[in-house]
């Protein structure tokens, strides 16, 4: 059996109608959707019918992505194709880390959907109290970008690939940083988000979310999770519970995460959930990596042909 790492997308991967085919054809996936609907009434209508602006709202976006991701995961797990692979690592990009916790067996979906609802509320509350913004930067080395951020008071949200880094923080400080970067020839893309996520502006959200994490029962993971905040494989429950809230205001070390997995001899990845954002990032990190996506029943069937 082939050793694989299971990876899960975060906010920004959502599209109206995502997961519909899984819901219509797979009873296991449908059960996950129905469970999420019981916790957040109206969620399925937003997922399947939109409108897009409503799906982008943090309160709907975060649980929607996790629901679709876990539905695809559970459909995959009960398929014949699952027996052809051996998951040895799990990780997720920001929000996707919660989906990864289900994949490695640390949390049930019931626990996760409740945590995601709380996480979204905490982050939205912090965003309203401490307005911020984010922007993707392409074409600047990390060391140079870090210096510019420090000089202008902004922070780094995501180290997404070798040439794509996302900056975050207070709106005026991000704007000042962007002006300097553009003057140096960088490509800057403002992101349509409701706050300065993964910055110190989110510390109050993390503190509040920590309370809910502490109240949640975690199980010993079946295989290691790589947390965003340190890119280090772990099965230590106390460490995972410490890192999960911290992630909200810390940088996402995605490049280091992928390189850690590769250094352990794993070069096959399965991205589970909506979109193909992570596949694109992995190709930028290392073109030799193999990445398959699971979004539909057809994607699951294709796994055996890899």
Active site residues: 94, 198
Angstrom distance (rounded) from CA 107 to CA 280: 28
Q: Which of 261, 253, 271 is nearest to 233 (CA)?
A: 261
Angstrom distance (rounded) from CA 1 to CA 83: 8
User: CA of 176: how far to CAs of 128, 154, 172, 181, 225, in Å?
Assistant: 21, 9, 6, 9, 36
Q: What are phi and psi of 209, to 5 degrees?
A: -65, -30
Q: Residues in the chain, how many?
A: 306
CB contact set of 52 (below 8 Å; sequence gap of 6+): 16
Angstrom distance (rounded) from CA 205 to CA 127: 9
Angstrom distance (rounded) from CA 64 to CA 276: 16
Cβ distance 103 to 69 under 8 Å?
A: no
DSSP-assigned states of every residue in 143-179 = HHHHHHHHHHT-EEEEEEETTEEEEEEEHHHHHHHHH
- Give 256's Cβ-side CA count (13 Å radius): 15
Cβ distance 281 to 252 under 8 Å?
A: no
Q: What are phi and psi of 82, to 5 degrees?
A: -60, -30
């Amino acid at each position: 059996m082939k050793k694989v790492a299971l990876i899960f997308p975060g906010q920004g991967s959502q599209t109206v109608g995502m997961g519909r085919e899984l819901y219509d054809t797979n009873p296991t996936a449908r059960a996950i959707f129905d469970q999420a609907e019981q916790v957040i009434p109206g969620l399925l209508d937003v997922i399947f019918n939109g409108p897009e602006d409503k799906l982008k709202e943090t309160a709907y976006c975060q649980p929607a992505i996790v629901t679709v991701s876990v539905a695809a995961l559970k459909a995959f797990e009960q398929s014949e194709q699952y027996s052809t692979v051996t998951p040895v690592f799990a990780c997720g990009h920001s929000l996707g880390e919660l989906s990864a916790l289900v994949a490695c067996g640390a949390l049930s979906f019931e626990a996760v959907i409740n945590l995601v609802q709380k996480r979204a509320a905490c982050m939205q509350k912090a965003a309203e109290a401490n307005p911020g913004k984010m922007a993707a930067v392409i074409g600047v080395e990390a060391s140079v970008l870090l210096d510019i951020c420090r000089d202008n008071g902004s922070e780094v949200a995501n180290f997404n690939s070798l040439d794509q880094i996302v900056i975050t923080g207070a709106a005026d400080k991000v704007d000042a940083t962007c002006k300097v970067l553009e003057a140096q020839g960088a490509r800057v893309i403002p992101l349509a988000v409701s706050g300065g996520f993964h910055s110190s502006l989110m510390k109050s959200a993390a503190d509040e979310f920590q309370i809910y994490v502490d109240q949640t029962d975690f199980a010993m993971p079946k295989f290691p999770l790589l947390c965003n905040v340190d890119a280090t494989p772990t099965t230590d429950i106390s460490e995972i519970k410490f890192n999960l809230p911290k992630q909200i205001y810390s940088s996402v070390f995605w490049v280091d995460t992928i390189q850690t997995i590769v250094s352990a001899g794993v070069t096959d990845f399965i991205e589970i959930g909506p979109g193909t954002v992570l596949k694109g990032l992995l190709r930028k990190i290392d073109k030799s990596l193999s990445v398959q996506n699971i979004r539909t029943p057809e994607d699951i069937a294709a796994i055996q042909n890899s």
